[in-house]
Structures are given as C-alpha cells and as structure tokens.
Amino acid sequence: MTKKQFKAESKRLLEMMINSIYSQKEIFLRELISNASDAIDKLYYKALTDDSLTFEKDSYYIKVEADKDNRTLKLIDTGIGMTKEELETNLGTIAKSGSLAFKKENELKDGHDIIGQFGVGFYSAFMVADEVTVISKALGSDEAYKWQSDGTDGYTIEVHEKKSVGTEIIIKIKENTEDDTFDEYLEEHRLKAIIKKYSDFIRYPIKMDVKGQRPKDDSENELEEYEEEQTINSMVPIWRKNKNELTTEDYENFYSEKRYGFDKPLKHIHISVDGAVRYNAILFIPENVPFDYYSKEFEKGLELYSNGVLIMDKCSDLLPDYFGFVKGMVDSEDLSLNISREMLQHDRQLKLIAKNIKNKIKSQLLSLLKDEREKYEQFYNSFGRQLKYGVYSDFGSHKEVLQDLLMFYSSTEKKLVTLDEYVARMPEDQKYIYYASGESYERIEKLPQTELVSDKGYEILYFTEDVDEFAIKMVLNYKEKEFKSVSSGDLGIESDDQENDETQENDNKELFDYMKDILSAKVKDVRVSKRLKSHPVCLTTEGEVTIEMEKILQAMPD
C-alpha cells in the first residue's frame, strides 16, 4: 500500500493557527524583533568559531520604520540573513524553525540566547498584514532575494537588489474594519510602547526615527519640528547586572519605570540563582498598600521573562497568596514555553523557582526585622494583616513560614513585638502566651480580664484585628508555649488557691444561684473569679471560641 500525504488547506490552517495561538495582535512585533535578534546572535556565534569574521557589537541593530502614507511597517536587521533556500524552508514551511536547527547544528548548549524554536512566530505578522515582503541577503552570499506572500495561497521568491547582509521585512498593515483597528501599528507612540513592553531587554538596539518639537535656537516661542533616531529599548536588563554595580536609586528607577507602584519600594531583593534551575529576579516590597490590595480585584503575580523577552505580565504561580504584595520580575532561560510563548508547558521549573522565591522573601523579611526594625514595622503595618490571613488559610499549613514574621502589640513593651521576643522574656513560672482581644489598645487596657495576668507581671499581646485570634488558633503554640486568651475560663494562674474558691462559692451560693437564674439565657455559669482586682465582674469563655471570635463569626454573612 502506498502511503498518502495529508493535505491541508494551507490558507485556512494558517488563519486558524495564527488566530488561535495568540491572544493579542501586538505580539507580532515581539515575534519579528525576536527573530531579528536571533539573526544577529547567529552572526555572533559564527564569528566565535570563524576567524575570518569579526563581530563589532556596535554595528548591529534592529530598526523599526512606520510609513503611514503607504501603510507599511518595516523591520530592518543586520543579522545573518537568509539564502534563497532558507527563505523557502524557514518561511515557506509552517513549524519549521531555522533557529532550532541552527542551535542543533552548532551544538549550542542550553543557556545561549537564541529565542526561536517553534517556527511559527513569523506568521503572526499576518494577524495585522495584508501582505508580507521579506528581502534578505545571507552572510557570504552575493545575491539577495525577495520573498512575498499575502498569507493566502503561497509565496513568491525572486532575485532582488540589497547591498548589506541582513533582512528587511515589510508589512502592509491591514485597513481598519468594523471590529478591529490596525492603524495603531503605524503610530509611533504605540510602536514604542509595544517595543518597551515586550522587547525592552533585547540585547541589540531597536531604533526608530522619532519626531518631536523643540524650541528654535534663537527664539523662545517658536518651535521647530525635528526627527532623530532613538534607541527605544534599554538593552541591558538590570537583573543581569552585578549587584555591586547597582545603587538603591537604580532599583527605585526600575520600580517606577516598570510601574510596579507609584510609591517607592521599601526594599528590593535581587536574586541570581545558578543551580538546579537558573533564574534572575528583582523583587520589591512596596511601601504602600495598593488601593485595591485587600479586594477581589487585586491580582498578584510577577512578570515572567524568558531570555529577556516578556512572556507573562502577571504570573500568579510565582507567589503564594500571603506574599501577594511582592512586585517584580523573574527571568529564566530554563522555562519550557508553549507555542505562543504566552504560557508555560511544564511547571516543574516554575514550581522550583516559586519555592525558591518564597524562601528568599521570607529570609529577606526576617533580616529586615532584625536589622531595620522601623522599616519592618512600616511593612508590617501595611501587610501584616496579609501575613495573618496567610497563617489562617489552608488550615494553618503556612504557619512554619509565617509565624516568625508576625507581630502584636505588647502590654508591657507598648509596641509591636514578635512571638520570639515574647517567649524569650517569659518568666519561668509563666505557662502560656497571653492575649486579649478588643477594638483598640485603649479598650483592651481597661478590660477587667487583663488585671490578674498583668498583675502577675506577665506580658499580654493585644489583638485588635478580626483575623488575629483566628490566625493564632492556627499557630496553636509557639516554641512549645500555648496561647491563652485572658478571657478564657482557666487562665492557668488561679489554681493555687482552690479551697478558698470553694468556700467562697459555698458561702455565697444563694447569690450565685440567683444571678445564674436571672442571666440564664445569657451565661452558662456564675463563679468566683480571682483574676479581678478593681473590677467587680467580668465575662469569660469556656472552650476554644472566645467572645471576640463569636462576634466576628456572627457578623459574617451566611
């Protein structure tokens, strides 16, 4: 039996592919720029092994030119170019990646910078183009060729005039339709923004002729138009620079350039890991709480780059919810991307990175606490609530990570203290870590329930936020000390004088019974208390749920 080849309606296939792979049209520019960067990289790698070639980094660039009148967008690169055969195989065969082949042929190991691998990016140009023309002259070749296609029925190739080695791609931008606008891809500011967004860290200059106005030399009022060539991308990613060469100001500039926030970061964390998984990251702990932080609208996440090219705006898998306030970016060479390069294929590497990042954030917060207490308190005032929610969520499974980062107001220190500090100060006879819940520090101070504990000289932690007591219930104990509410039935202090209690209770049995009778709907028991000094009476609770918790539970919607 003879085997037959599948047939495909190539026009429909191309359309389907392009429109289902990419979620945004603007991606086409990222793809074409990536290809241009790859083409320059290939020259660079060739030069490494071929003595007859020299690579002067400064003479390589990518240029983007928009021509509104002719509705064309041109991308020029000074890369390795394509021969006639390469134009046919690489641009004439969908899913054929010349770049992947190049990596294999030259036995480039992981860790080099060539981006291409799937052999589809080029066709993304047809999302915005009626026609694409590629004029290319390959390194070492005397002739140049022109490849042209309208994306429907094939392409043409013919000899063409081109002096220098490299490639020129001319895209005829589609006319606007009722549903879609394409004009924007001819607008200078829009193109600049797309380049900045996705290709800011491409290692070669991406240039544009930019128009502007400036005051005329000899007059203050008159303006003159000018046009100059500008490099749009910043090229060297700050995260690849040596930490020692960077100042706090550099990080702050990066923070505001990237619009991570309008505040200044409280702290930056620069990570370079070269282990089981390789990545660079710059993370920030913001100074202020984003206005929507504690709302459903807030989206946590870090920017994710693969080899300097932006893959995802907000990769939420990189951050646990309880560190959701952290801003910043991660760049890794080791990610397996899916075909659109918008998502990841396997998340093994990502999980490793996420775990690593989580530990780094924790250790950096701990050192902030240790070395810059004031800053830590500032941080804690903004995001402490988040940490406490974190302890409470998932049945306390995060307490190991978070308990050392918690702080509460202390009755004796009159400031925020950590659990570690509390336990270190505990007198030997003190069994529990005591806390009291209430609306404010002032009100808690006046609670009759606190009197005995305070009188013993024991420190009390003041809980003023809804989440406090719930979180502590999840922590359960800290350094083997259990937590105890000052309003719980058994404080662990009174026991020394049980006999006296009983006589008092018997002597006043009638009074107690009378009170119990009157209050029967409201209290379970009326007893002699030894925790009171200046107050005649106070409420206490039995079991795990305290009065404050009950209030919160009752206030919650069903």
Do 118 and 18 touch, CB atoms closer than 8 A? no
Tell me how far apart the alpha carbons of residues 486 and 451 are, in angstroms, rounded to a whole number.
Answer: 9
Nearer to Mg ion, 8 or 95 (CB): 95
Nearer to ligand ADP, 91 or 232 (CB): 91
237 binds, among ligand ADP, Mg ion, none (CB under 5 to 8 A by kind): none
| Using rule CB under 6 A, residue 293 touches ligand ADP | no
Give DSSP secondary structure letters for 242-293.
-GGG--HHHHHHHHHHTTS-SS-EEEEEEEEEESSSEEEEEEEEESS--TTT
| Using rule CB under 6 A, residue 337 touches ligand ADP | no
State the minimum distance, in angstroms, from the CB of residue 310 to Mg ion.
15
| Using rule CB under 6 A, residue 83 touches ligand ADP | no
Do 366 and 328 touch, CB atoms closer than 8 A? no
Nearer to ligand ADP, 117 or 393 (CB): 117
| Using rule CB under 6 A, residue 37 touches ligand ADP | no
Q: At 293, which amino acid appears? A: Y
Rounded-to-5 percentages of helix, strand, coil across the chain: 40, 20, 40
Piece in contact with ligand ADP (CB under 6 A), picked from 8-16, 80-88, 234-242, 505-513: 80-88
Token pair recorded at residue 99: 């770049």
Piece in contact with ligand ADP (CB under 6 A), picked from 112-120, 246-254, 355-363, 466-474: 112-120
Q: At 309, which amino acid appears? A: V
36 binds, among Mg ion, ligand ADP, none (CB under 5 to 8 A by kind): ligand ADP
**What's the full length of the chain, in residues?**
558
HSE-CB at 491 with a 13 A cutoff on CA atoms is 24
- Tell me which of 79, 237, 328, 384 binds ligand ADP, using CB under 6 A: 79
Piece in contact with ligand ADP (CB under 6 A), picked from 32-40, 139-147, 192-200, 427-435: 32-40
324 binds, among Mg ion, ligand ADP, none (CB under 5 to 8 A by kind): none
Nearer to Mg ion, 35 or 133 (CB): 35
Q: How many residues bind ligand ADP (CB under 6 A)?
A: 23
C-alpha pair distances (Å), 360 with each of 109, 147, 252, 374: 29, 50, 20, 21
Tell me how far apart the alpha carbons of residues 290 and 314 are, in angstroms, rounded to a whole number.
Answer: 16
- Three-state SS string over 495-553 comes to HHHHHHHHHHHHHCHHHHHHHHHHCCCCCCCCCCCCCCCCCCCCCCECCCCCHHHHHHH
Q: Sheet of 433-437: strands edge to edge?
A: 416-418, 407-410, 460-463, 433-437, 481-485, 477-478
79 binds, among ligand ADP, Mg ion, none (CB under 5 to 8 A by kind): ligand ADP
Token pair recorded at residue 529: 């208390």
State the minimum distance, in angstroms, from the CB of residue 124 to Mg ion.
9
Nearer to Mg ion, 116 or 448 (CB): 116
- Tell me which of 76, 82, 208, 330 binds ligand ADP, using CB under 6 A: 82
Q: Between 167 and 206, how does the x/- string for binding to ligand ADP read (CB under 6 A)?
A: x---------------------------------------
- Tell me which of 98, 151, 286, 308 binds ligand ADP, using CB under 6 A: 98
C-alpha pair distances (Å), 5 with each of 2, 8, 13: 10, 10, 16
- Tell me which of 14, 60, 63, 97 binds ligand ADP, using CB under 6 A: 97
| Using rule CB under 6 A, residue 448 touches ligand ADP | no
| Using rule CB under 6 A, residue 35 touches ligand ADP | yes
Piece in contact with ligand ADP (CB under 6 A), picked from 116-124, 255-263, 283-291, 385-393: 116-124
State the minimum distance, in angstroms, from the CB of residue 87 to ligand ADP.
8
Nearer to ligand ADP, 152 or 495 (CB): 152
CA 40 to chain centre: 31
Which residue ranges make up the site for Mg ion (CB under 5 A)?
35, 116, 121
State the minimum distance, in angstroms, from the CB of residue 133 to Mg ion.
18
Pseudo-torsion of CA 50, 56, 59, 60, nearest 10°? Answer: 60
Q: Which residues of 256-270 are buried (b: 16+ CB within 10 A; e: fewer)?
A: eebebbeeebbbbbb
Q: Rule CB under 6 A: which of 119-138 touch ligand ADP?
A: 119-122
- Three-state SS string over 173-191 comes to ECCCCCCCCCHHHHCHHHH
| Using rule CB under 6 A, residue 60 touches ligand ADP | no
382 binds, among ligand ADP, Mg ion, none (CB under 5 to 8 A by kind): none
3-state DSSP assignment of residue 34: helix
| Using rule CB under 6 A, residue 90 touches ligand ADP | yes
C-alpha pair distances (Å), 328 with each of 102, 337, 391, 425, 498: 33, 20, 23, 38, 60
Give residue number: closest CB to Mg ion. Answer: 121
Tell me how far apart the alpha carbons of residues 436 and 414 are, in angstroms, rounded to a whole number.
Answer: 14
Of the candidates 467, 457, 415, 413, the one whose C-alpha atom is nearest the C-alpha of residue 437 is 467
| Using rule CB under 6 A, residue 307 touches ligand ADP | no
- Tell me which of 27, 29, 33, 36 binds ligand ADP, using CB under 6 A: 36
| Using rule CB under 6 A, residue 451 touches ligand ADP | no
| Using rule CB under 6 A, residue 472 touches ligand ADP | no
State the minimum distance, in angstroms, from the CB of residue 46 to ligand ADP.
12
Tell me how far apart the alpha carbons of residues 22 and 460 are, in angstroms, rounded to a whole number.
Answer: 57
Q: At 412, which amino acid appears? A: T
Give residue number: closest CB to ligand ADP. Answer: 98
469 binds, among ligand ADP, Mg ion, none (CB under 5 to 8 A by kind): none
| Using rule CB under 6 A, residue 487 touches ligand ADP | no
Residues forming contacts to ligand ADP in the complex (CB under 6 A) are 31, 35-36, 39, 77, 79-82, 90-91, 97-100, 116-122, 167
